Amino acid sequence: MHKPRLQLQASFDIAYLQYLDKQGQATQPLPDFATPDWLSHCHRQMQLARLVDDRAVKLQRTGRLGTYPSTLGQEAIGVATANALMAEDVYCPYYRETGALLERGVEIEEILAIWGGDERGQNFQHAPKDLPICVPIATQMLHAAGVAFALKYRHQQNNQPLQVAVASSGEGATSKGDFYEAMNLAGVWKLPMVFVVNNNQWAISVPRNAQTATQTIAQKAIAAGIPALQVDGNDVVAVAWAVRDAMERARRGEGAALVEAMSYRLCDHTTADDASRYRSASELEQAWQWEPVKRLDNYLRAQGLWSDAKQQDLDRELAQVMEVALTNWESRAPEPVTAMFDHLYARLPEGLYEQYDQLRDEQQGVAE
């Protein structure tokens, strides 16, 4: 058999970044931003996310919340990503982002409202330009590309600093056309945006190796002409470095980048899922060995920055925060039923007056 002689036309490398190993020991000097205060802040926010998450699952189990997607084991990705944004940047989250939303200033009661079936939760009062969480897969990446265009357009018109749009997703989302189309446009239009892919190994029941034949998710960005790297997603410092670096690059007008954060979904896909049907207990047990909170905890203790006493204080503080949020959430006045029409169009079209009145009257018990 004749084999034609081929010339190498292109080549690429995908780098991998880690600062804290599985035991929480530094594998290289930490970056300047990783001060004791910053590390303690991340430590607190990751634990808050874990607590909110745990309570949300319990609320679902007792019928007080609808289906909820837990973020257990992936807290470092959300917290580090959202922490890298400035207030004016725009975050375009997928649905598994309790840690990121909290870090972004979204309140616990808003998160509970969303999963408790109340659209008012998406009114993100402290992040007014961020997109609502996105349930369809990968569509938020195209929205982020549009947001990035708008930010670049504003920057060119007003000469204000360039802001950045950040889209988050799971690795399953990278199987969709929306992902490729968004990266392609981000590359060709040099959009100020960052893709953060949470590679938690499972798209519901389909494992990563049944999702794609590529060695890394990161290399998918190569085809779009944008840089990418892989980081240890359970290492909050590594995620933060990568996202910050990508943001700075975008802010300088150099375009988009992708960060693949390697992690593991320690929970079921959602409260409606039972992961024991499709993955082994031993795999799960192994994954617990490198989860992000414990790793940072170990590091902080080794540095003399953390102790049992401090942990007890934090536990008390977070429990208090959670209780206040639960009370606020549960004491919310229910939304009037007519809200389903109030925000459908800017002004209710005349053709809908009749349905609006019918709904209002039904609620008031006027109609017989």
Contact pattern for other proteins over residues 312 through 341, marking x by CB under 8 A: ---------------------------xx-
Q: Sheet holding 193-199: strands in order across?
A: 16-17, 228-232, 257-262, 193-199, 165-170, 90-92
* By CB under 8 A, residue 92 contacts other proteins: yes
Close Cβ partners of 249 (under 8 Å, ≥ 6 residues apart)? 227, 255, 257
Contacting other proteins (CB under 8 A), which of 40, 123, 175, 270? 123
- Write out the binding residues for other proteins, residues 174-193 only, by CB under 8 A: 177-178, 181-182, 184-185, 188
* By CB under 8 A, residue 87 contacts other proteins: no
Contacting other proteins (CB under 8 A), which of 90, 102, 250, 257? 90
Question: Nearest distance from residue 105's CB to other proteins, in Å?
Answer: 14
Q: Is 19 a catalytic residue?
A: no
Pick the catalytic residue: 55, 104, 143, 265? 265
> DSSP character for 333?
P
* By CB under 8 A, residue 366 contacts other proteins: no
Between β-strands 206-207 and 202-203, what pairing exists: parallel, antiparallel or unpaired?
A: antiparallel
Contact pattern for other proteins over residues 127 through 146, marking x by CB under 8 A: -xx-xx---x--x--xxxxx
* By CB under 8 A, residue 16 contacts other proteins: no
* By CB under 8 A, residue 356 contacts other proteins: no
Span of 57-65, 153-161, 235-243, 303-311 interacting with other proteins by CB under 8 A: 153-161
Contacting other proteins (CB under 8 A), which of 149, 301, 356, 357? 149
Residue closest to 261 by CA, chosen among 22, 94, 18:
18
Q: Is 2 a catalytic residue?
A: no
- Binding residues for other proteins, how many (CB under 8 A)? 46
Question: Nearest distance from residue 255's CB to other proteins, in Å?
Answer: 15
163 φ/ψ angles, rounded to the nearest 5 degrees: -100, 165
Residue closest to 74 by CA, chosen among 233, 271, 238, 229:
233
* By CB under 8 A, residue 304 contacts other proteins: no
Q: Is 278 a catalytic residue?
A: yes
Number of Cβ within 10 Å of residue 204's Cβ equals: 13
Give the C-alpha separation, 18 to 232, whole Å.
5
CA distances to 6, 12, 100, 225, 302 from 9, in Å: 9, 11, 40, 15, 48
| CA torsion angle 289 293 294 297 (round to 10) | 160
Nearer to other proteins, 88 or 362 (CB): 88
- Write out the binding residues for other proteins, residues 225-254 only, by CB under 8 A: none
* By CB under 8 A, residue 164 contacts other proteins: no
Give the C-alpha separation, 25 to 55, whole Å.
31
> DSSP character for 136?
S
Give the C-alpha separation, 217 to 209, whole Å.
11
Number of Cβ within 10 Å of residue 135's Cβ equals: 10
* Contact set with other proteins (CB under 8 A): 90, 92, 119-120, 122-124, 128-129, 131-132, 136, 139, 142-151, 153-154, 156-157, 165, 177-178, 181-182, 184-185, 188, 339-340, 342-346, 349-352
Catalytic positions = 265, 269, 278
